[in-house]
A and B are shown apart, each in its own frame.
Chain A
Amino acid sequence: MEEGIAIRAENICKSFGEGDSYIEVIKNASFTIHKGELIALIAPSGGGKTTLLMMIGCVEEPSSGKIWLGDKQVFADKWLTRETRKIRREKIGFIFQAHYLIPFLNIIDNLTLLPQANKTDDKTARAKARELLKYFDIAEKEKAMPSQLSGGQNQRVAIARALVNEPQIILADEPTAALDMQRSVDVVKMLKQIALEQKVAIIMVTHDERMLPYCDRIMKIEDKTTIFEEQQLQKNSTHSD
């Protein structure tokens, strides 16, 4: 397998329901995403973006196909491990439209939850969490509760949380939808920087065309399958399919 590949999907299909309620959402989607790339995923509402993201994230089980994360195959018409949750906590960071921080835990405890699950020792976990909070300019809020932070601050904490387990892949479902234009651009630039610095592959669902210039490639879902849109603007996009 080629070096530097973060995600590979081969002919993944997904349908829901049976009989009258049967719908096919994704059909024969195949793609390769490299480490360090920020991919924008676009499709109309109901186009299957979240479904695709959740399949890559080992949350939703595809109907058929093959998926590799890094050099490890995780899906071949069925999960190749019983512990998909372990893959998620070790390899994947999730970011959503809402921050979804745990409201009864303070900021630092929210951040150390995943390292704790990964059996990282407490001191290391806290140090890592503090480093991230500092990076995102919210170091002084570590003892605050999520309800005491602004929307933008909470979203930054949520991004920090997605990074704290040093994932190889970040899946972001409309991370900027709740933010204003300036903050959205900040977040997307931040994601691009993270992708480059930490060699993480990031797939970001977005409805906002103004965010596209900051992404390396644009993946579209058309006729239930994924295609990459050619983008000339990019300077540092070295990959092509």
Chain B
Amino acid sequence: MYTKEQQRAVLTEYVVEKASKQIGMFTAILVIVATIIISLIIYTMTLEKMKEISIMKLMGIPNSMIVRMIVEETLLLGILAFLFGNLFSHLIYSRFPKRVVLEIPDAWMLFAVVVVASIAASFVGVKKVISADPAAAIGG
């Protein structure tokens, strides 16, 4: 048997735990979706640059340099998205139906996730670069 106090404690814990799990899942899904979107954007941006990439390869620029360009571009995209997202949430969070607390450590955590996710997202672009044909640069 629980005392009243204990019951309350267990119940609040349960509710809080559930809510935080809920939010955690939401965050995870949003990060995954964002990663996919960034991958797709980088993929199309890389496709648009295939000609230049072929030229760079033809000139003798090593893959490592080209790949670095793409990863940098993706990181930039990810960091910009993170900054805008944060700014936006700070602007509107007071209007949320339920009070939310924005904590700095959480933001850093998310930032780390964004960096890792962006690098993962650039993989598709990078794969495309490695397979680019330098001879295709001049054909047509």
Contacts and interface: CB of A to CB of B under 8 A. Distances in A.
Co-complex (A, B): yes
Contact of B135 (A59, A85, A89, A92): A59
Contact of B60 (A50, A60, A85): A85
A43 to B, nearest CB: 16
Nearest to A89: B60
A85 B138 contact: no
Interface in A55-114: 57, 59-60, 85-90, 92, 94, 96, 100, 102-104, 113-114
Contacts of A96: 138
Max chain B CB contacts within 10 Å: which of A59, A114, A116, A161?
A59
A116 B138 contact: no
Interface residues of B, number: 16
A192 B52 CA distance: 28
A103 B52 CA distance: 8
A117 interface: yes
Given A117-B62, A117-B65, A50 B138 contact: yes
A117 B62 CA distance: 7
A114 B55 contact: no
Interface string B47-70: 001011001111111100100000
Nearest to B60: A89
Interface in B30-52: 49, 51-52
Given A100-B52, A100-B55, A102-B52, A113 B61 contact: yes
A113 B56 contact: yes
A102 B61 CA distance: 12
Given A103-B52, A116-B65, A117-B65, A88 B59 contact: yes
B137 A100 contact: yes
A98 B125 CA distance: 25
Contacts of A102: 52, 55-56
Nearest to A87: B60
Main secondary structure of the interface of B (DSSP, over half): helix
Nearest to B55: A100
A86 B59 CA distance: 9
A96 B54 CA distance: 13
A54 interface: yes
B56 A59 contact: no
A50 B137 CA distance: 12
Max chain A CB contacts within 10 Å: which of B55, B56, B57, B60?
B60
Nearest to A96: B138
A216 interface: no
Contacts of B135: 54, 59-60
B136 to A, nearest CB: 10
Contacts of A89: 59-62
Contacts of B62: 85, 89, 117
28 contacts: A50-B138, A54-B135, A54-B138, A59-B58, A59-B135, A85-B60, A85-B134, A86-B60, A88-B58, A88-B59, A89-B59, A90-B60, A92-B60, A94-B59, A96-B138, A100-B51, A100-B52, A100-B55, A102-B55, A102-B56, A104-B49, A104-B52, A113-B56, A113-B59, A117-B62, A117-B65, A161-B59, A173-B138
Interface of A: 50, 54, 57, 59-60, 85-90, 92, 94, 96, 100, 102-104, 113-114, 116-117, 161, 173
Interface of B: 49, 51-52, 55-62, 65, 134-135, 137-138
Given A88-B58, A103-B52, A113-B65, 4 more contacts: A86-B60, A104-B52, A114-B60, A117-B60
